[in-house]
């Protein structure tokens, strides 16, 4: 790369988008980290922590699903910056309010609202940076956003160890409000401004369903990321329960599992982004990392060494495997024209986050079914543990198969010029 390329990669839009995603990840993953202590303090009994945690996670992810549509459409109609401002204001205030909850019902409502706010940050940031940087370094820009952003999980884990769960929420909300100040100097995408002057439909979500090829690309863009949120939403979020099922010696804390997995995710995103630039291909690299994810899922569920240290190592390795998150969002942004780009780039990552809801429901069904079928031949604890491990394995295999099929539906977009629109006939 030339010197001017490095300057562009360190431009204000890239830096602000990266910091925005950093705060976004802090607030998004904080619930997974403080799930147990927060629910215990609200009076939830030990045997209900798993189910209540699943319920709250489902509502948070439903909020992300709804927010992905709202912010994506707004990004194409009103501009990328309006989403960056509006979404961060909403989730910052919602996360501050999370620190004041006194019941599970209040917690559910506020996680849903926070989910709506959290939905806008990544898609708007990636869209803005993709349209600002030249094609030959675009992949590096989105890699920087993801790598810096994912470190928000590390900060969230550190803060949760120093402060109680309420203060951790207050700090996250405060960081978001401070970030608003940095947004003042960011400029709108020139590509969007030129499209805005044309008499063309912008942010029409239903346009994605009016053409077979367009719909196929949209669905494919979503489901190539399915293994990522299976790993995060099931394996990592409920790591204490998996550690118990695996008879891990030593104490496994959800926050540490999240931290190690996101450190691995950052390494994976950095390496997959660089590899994509070297191979000049998005799809080949995604295929490689989906295969790695499959191998690491099996390692996680059937650990050869049953110690807490090795369990955390498996979380880190699993994170590397799913470290194609930046490529996943970049592919979505590059598939579609300027008048639909924000709608797709914002809705796609949140649709895949939203799949945690059916995934957790399927996981619950499978683990209960397998546990019941083994109840007569095993003691109750062993049957329950078998249900958890093999239920998770079946769900994981299914997500990998779907991701490979979905990868065939999307275009190779490395180096694509993004200065185009989706016409009605396309």
Query: Of 87, 172, 156, 173, which Cα lies nearest the Cα of 128?
Result: 87
From residue 197, alpha-carbon distances to 20, 194, 345 in Å are 28, 5, 21
pLDDT of residue 426: 39
Alpha-carbon distance 145 to 140, whole Å?
A: 9
Question: Which residue(s) pair with 249 in the sheet?
Answer: 307
Burial of residue 137 (CB within 10 Å: 0-12, 13-18, 19+) is middle
- Count of C-beta atoms within a 10 Å radius of residue 357: 19
Express each pLDDT in 358-370 by its tens digit.
998 999 999 999 9
Neighbouring-strand partners of residue 203:
none
Q: Look at 94 and 131; give whichever has higher pLDDT.
A: 94
Mean per-residue pLDDT, 312-324: 96
What confidence tens digit (pLDDT) does each residue in 76-123 have?
Answer: 888 878 888 888 899 999 999 999 999 999 999 999 999 999 888 888
Task: Report the Cα 413 to chain-centroid distance in Å.
Answer: 21
Long-range pairs for 364-368: beta carbons < 8 A, 24 or more residues apart: 364/54, 365/391, 366/390, 366/391, 366/394, 366/395, 367/391, 367/392
Question: pLDDT, tens digit, for every residue of 260-313?
Answer: 999 999 999 999 999 999 999 999 999 999 999 999 999 999 988 899 999 999
Q: Is the dihedral of CA 204, 205, 209, 211 positive or negative?
A: positive
Q: Return the pLDDT at 172.
A: 93
Contact predicate 98/107, CB 8 Å: yes
pLDDT > 90? residue 9:
no
Per cent of the chain over pLDDT 70 is 97
Query: Which residues lie below 8 Å from residue 271, measured CB to CB, with a gap of 6+?
Result: 320, 323
pLDDT reading at 16 higher than 80: yes
Through-space distance between the first and last CA atoms of the chain, rounded to whole angstroms: 35
- 25-41: per-residue pLDDT in tens? 898 889 888 988 999 99
Residue 357 has pLDDT above 50, yes or no: yes
Instruction: State how far Cα 230 lies from the chain centre.
Output: 10
Q: Tokens 């979020």 label which residue?
A: 237
What confidence score (pLDDT) does residue 261 get? 94
How far apart (Å, rounded) are the C-alpha atoms in residues 17 and 329? Answer: 14
CA–CA dist 168, 161 (Å, integer): 9
Distance CA(123)–CA(121), nearest Å, equals 6
Give me the numbers of helices (H) and strands (E) for the chain, helices first please: 20, 0
Tell whether the model's pLDDT for residue 162 goes beyond 90. Answer: yes
- The predicted-structure confidence for 381-425, as pLDDT tens digits, reads as follows 888 889 999 999 999 999 999 999 999 999 999 988 888 877 743
Lowest mean pLDDT among 138-152, 191-205, 308-322: 191-205
* Contact yes or no for 239/301 (Cβ under 8 A): no
Task: Please tell me the distance from the alpha carbon of residue 231 to that of residue 233, in angstroms, as a whole number.
Answer: 6
Dist. CA 41–CA 83, nearest whole Å: 35
384 and 242 in contact (C-beta within 8 Å)? no
Please report the pLDDT score of residue 279 as a whole number: 93
DSSP string, 141-206: HHHHHHHHHHTHHHHHHHHHHHS-HHHHHHHHHHHHHHHHHHHTTPPPPHHHHHHHTSS---S-GG
pLDDT tops 80 at residue 195: no
- Residue 3: partners with Cβ closer than 8 Å, 6 or more residues away: none
Name all domains of the chain by residue range, CATH numbers in brackets.
Answer: 3-185+211-407 (1.20.1250.20)
- Higher pLDDT pick, 275 / 188: 275
Task: Categorize the per-residue pLDDT at 1 as very low, low, confident or very high, splitting at 50, 70 and 90.
Answer: low
Which residues, including other chains, have CB under 8 Å from residue 141's CB and lie 6 or more apart?
Answer: 8, 9, 14, 129, 130, 132, 133
The mean of the pLDDT values for the chain is 88
81/125 Cα distance (integer angstroms): 9
Token pair of 182, please? Answer: 């940095």
């Amino acid at each position: 790369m030339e010197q001017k390329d490095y300057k562009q990669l360190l431009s204000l839009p890239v830096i602000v988008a990266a910091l925005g995603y950093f705060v976004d990840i802090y607030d998004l993953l904080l619930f997974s980290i403080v799930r147990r202590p927060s629910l215990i303090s609200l009076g939830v009994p030990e045997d209900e922590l798993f189910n209540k945690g699943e319920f709250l996670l489902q509502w948070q992810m439903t909020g992300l699903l709804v927010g992905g549509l709202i912010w994506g459409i707004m990004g194409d109609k009103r501009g990328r910056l309006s989403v960056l401002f509006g979404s961060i204001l909403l989730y910052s205030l919602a996360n501050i309010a999370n620190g004041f909850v006194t019941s599970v019902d209040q917690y559910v409502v506020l996680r849903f609202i926070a989910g709506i706010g959290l939905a806008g940050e990544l898609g708007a940031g990636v869209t803005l940076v993709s349209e600002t940087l030249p094609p030959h370094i675009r992949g590096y820009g989105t890699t920087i956003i993801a790598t810096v952003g994912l470190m928000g999980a590390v900060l969230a884990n550190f803060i949760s160890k120093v402060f109680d769960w309420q203060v951790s929420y207050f700090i996250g909300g405060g960081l978001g409000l401070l970030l608003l100040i940095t947004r003042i100097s960011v400029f709108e995408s020139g590509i969007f401004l030129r499209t805005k002057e044309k008499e063309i439909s912008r942010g029409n979500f239903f346009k994605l369903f009016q053409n077979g090829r367009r719909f196929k690309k949209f669905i494919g863009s979503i489901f190539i990321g399915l293994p990522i949120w299976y790993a995060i939403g099931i394996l990592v979020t409920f790591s204490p329960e998996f550690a118990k099922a695996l008879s891990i010696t030593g104490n496994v804390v959800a926050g540490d599992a999240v931290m190690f997995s996101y450190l691995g995710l950052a390494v994976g995103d950095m390496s997959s982004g660089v590899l994509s630039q070297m191979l000049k291909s998005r799809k080949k690299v995604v295929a490689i990392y989906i295969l790695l994810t499959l191998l690491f899922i099996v390692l996680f569920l059937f650990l050869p060494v049953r110690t807490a240290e090795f369990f955390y190592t498996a979380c880190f390795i699993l994170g590397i495997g799913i470290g194609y998150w930046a490529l996943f969002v970049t592919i979505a942004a590059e598939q579609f024209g300027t008048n639909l780009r924000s709608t797709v780039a914002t809705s796609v990552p949140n649709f895949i986050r939203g799949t945690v809801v059916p995934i957790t429901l399927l996981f619950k069904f499978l683990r209960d079914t397998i546990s019941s079928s083994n109840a007569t031949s095993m003691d109750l604890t062993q049957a329950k543990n078998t249900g958890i491990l093999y239920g998770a394995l079946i769900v994981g295999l299914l997500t990998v198969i779907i991701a490979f099929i979905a990868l065939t539906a999307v275009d190779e977009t490395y180096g694509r010029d993004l200065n185009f629109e989706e016409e009605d006939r396309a």
